[in-house]
Structure 1
Amino acid sequence: MKKTVLSLIGVAAAASAVCFYNPTTSDAPAIQVPSQQDTKVDTYSSRDTFDYFLSGLGEADLETLKTHFNTYNAGQPNAYQLDNDLFERFIQYRMSLSNLTPDNQHPFNTESLQRLNDQVLQTQSAFFSAEEQQKLFGEENMQRQLALRQLELKDRMIHQDDYDAAWEQEINTLPPVMQQSYRNAAVLSQLQATNALDEQERYLKQQALVGAEAADRLVTLRKARADFETKLEQYFQQRDAILADNNLAREQTQQALHELRQASFSASQIRRVRALESIRESQSVVQSQ
């Protein structure tokens, strides 16, 4: 059930904190926080662009992120500029989620989740027109409704075959892209369930689910992930030693860390490593308080 209501629990988490290729995209450092330096602004939709800038919260304060967005937006051709007022309302909406009242005693209860969903939709209506809601949250809202429907079916259906048939009917009502997404999610769930098996049994099960070629790729991926985790552990040990060296000036420390990253990881891995460093530093600050 926990997996079923993942999207709803994401909303509940947001209630306790402010969470936060079209042409001519500007990626100048002046509009990005450090972890975004090697990325392009996500312009797939206005919602994606809003989320991109707000994802820097924590590395920069909200006013700085607003300035980043406004600078970026002003540099776009008129036809591709986004609505500044819509961005402001999107921020206010995110902040207002802190006023929601999720049921912490029964977080996975269907009725509790339905009430939470109703609160989210009411909050959206307070800030956006129906057209804006659909544009910003259409798929997200549909996913929550579907998650609730799935819970209702699980509560009502006694036999697994009856549930499977009813759930398949629900999926068939979705747009084709979402149908495929939910079917892929079902396969992914089955793949994740193989993690508790030994290596040989896991490979055979995965081969049955996705075929030999994909199962081989999963083996390669697991090995690459394990190698990365090993390198990361070694890197953090060396990084801690550099940070603890009082004989190094600040510039020397930063240079040493830069050289260590370059020597330890590929260019594609460094962005991920820097993000993990930020998380680790944040956790250290919290633990020291």
Structure 2
Amino acid sequence: MPLLTRRWLIGALLVAGILSSAAWLHLHQPAPANSPTARGEQPAASIGVVATITPPAASTVHAHAAPAPDVERVLRSGSLRGSQPDGLLAWTGDGRLIANRELRRLLDYFLSSIGELDADAIRTLLVTQLGAQYSAAQVTQVAAVFDRYRDYQLALMNESPIADLSAQLSRLHELRLRYLGTEIADAFFRDDENYAAYTLAQRDLKTDPQLTAEQRVASLAELDKTLPESLRDRRALAQTPMLIDSQEAQFDVAHADANTRHDTRAAQWGEPAAQRLDALDAQRADWQSRLSAYQNWRDAINANTALSETQRRAAIDDLLVRSFHDTERVRIQSLEQEGLLPTPGG
């Protein structure tokens, strides 16, 4: 879910498509001076999933936080209503919090309610929810990371964008180290920074006028080898929709039949994916068939001079209701208004 993107998008987002942006946080307290617990080298002894979020009891809300009714209102009718927190909490064998991207996702989930609750109330909500499942010592560790992450987001919001994207990435890295420390900054943002650096290097190679076509291909291949496997998987996943679109265009040009499409897809994407794409083909064919039928009947109604304008309009409205469900009718009407669905004489 998109989080913390309400006020200011940093320039590097346009390059990598993965860097975080800042939300406006109304803060009243500085972050604790003590460093958060390090990630540790031990494997996680346990991983807990926070239960479905519920309004805190009035007795658990601290005096300095926003009134409990505000929290309850947001949870019952606001953006967090009926939701479950993203992310996981992981701990070492001796009870130390492990900082990782799942922890960041959890913090982002709670911070997504900024604007509905102030930062103090969000912190209280986080502590209250975790307190129902974790010990006071564990909750204190999470709250300490929350404080640092919150202050990093505020600092990021106050930063002016830097035109040079390499300099922007360096500045982001400096801020993360300053507010989060090396351990947490690395756990939260290492993959993002590595992929952003890769994307910038890829852009430079593609636009370097001194490289021949052969040198460019070779250099890009070498650059690809520097990506960790997890980021290679991410890049491949990001490219999948474009590859599927390209494959669809080739099918259309070749007038490929359904069996050919299925067999080719199964060989490239696997049988389950091929079946899902087959189903999508069927849905598209059904939509196109109904759309064509609607246009033909609509044109016939409009051409019927025995009907008055009011009768034609009523007949077309009835045709819409019989041909499409509610959201489809809105789509058809929007297409007609934008001139994207041909009308008689159009």
User: Secondary structure of 1:153's match?
Assistant: helix
Report the counterpart of residue 181 of structure 1 in structure 2: 234
The one of 106, 125, 142 equivalent to 1:68 is: 125
> What number of residue pairs does the alignment pair up?
221
Is the 2:24–2:157 contact (alpha carbons within 8 Å) kept by the matching residues of 1?
yes
Q: Secondary structure at the match of 2:47?
A: coil
> In the alignment, is residue 200 of structure 1 matched against residue 244 of structure 2?
no
- CA drift of 1:66 comes to 1.9
1:56·1:65 contact (CA, 8 Å) conserved in 2? yes
| Superposed displacement of residue 117, structure 1 | 0.9
1:30 Cα shift? Answer: 1.4
Structure 1 residues 235 and 98: CA distance shift in structure 2, 3 A: farther
Relative to the length of structure 2, the TM-score reads: 0.51
Q: CA deviation at 1:134?
A: 0.7
1:54 aligns with 2:148: no
- Aligned pair partner of 1:86 in 135, 145, 152: 145
Counterpart check, 1:116 vs 2:168: yes
Unaligned runs of 5+ residues in structure 1 are 238-289
CA distance in 1, matches of 2:200, 2:190: 16
Choose the corresponding residue for 1:28, options 34, 53, 60.
53
Q: Which residue of 1 aligns with 2:87?
A: 43
Percent identity, aligned pairs only, is 19
- Structure 1 residues 176 and 24: alpha-carbon distance in aligned structure 2, compared to 1, 3 A threshold: closer
Q: Is the 8 A contact 1:18 1:97 kept in 2?
A: no
Alpha-carbon distance change, 159 to 76 in structure 1, aligned in 2, over 3 angstroms: farther
Q: What is the SS of the residue equivalent to 1:22?
A: strand
CA RMSD, 1 decimal? 4.0
Hey, what does 2:184 align to over in structure 1? 132
* Structure 1 segments of 4+ aligned residues over 6 angstroms from their partners: 222-227, 234-237
- Equivalent residue, structure 2, for 1:274: none
Matched residue type, 1:74: G
Q: Name the aligned partner's letter for residue 235 of structure 2.
A: Y
Q: Indicate how the Cα distance of structure 1 residues 168 and 39 shifts in structure 2: closer, same or farther if over 3 A, else same.
A: farther
The DSSP-based 3-state class of the residue aligned with 2:161 is coil
- Would the alpha carbon gap of residues 24 and 139 (structure 1) be closer, same or farther in structure 2, given more than 3 Å must change? closer
User: Is the CA contact (8 Å cut-off) linking 1:194 and 1:202 kept in structure 2?
Assistant: no
SS in structure 2 at match of 1:178? helix
CA distance in structure 2 between the partners assigned to 1:28 and 1:5 by the alignment: 30
Max Rg structure: 2
The structure with the largest helix share of the pair is 1
Contact 1:124 1:133 in 2 (8 A): yes
Amino acid at match of 1:26: A
Q: Residues 209-248 of structure 1, C-alpha deviation per residue, up to 9 Å, x if partnerless? A: 9458435523534776998xx75736989xxxxxxxxxxx
User: 5+ residue gaps in structure 2?
Assistant: 1-11, 26-45, 57-73, 89-101, 288-323, 332-346
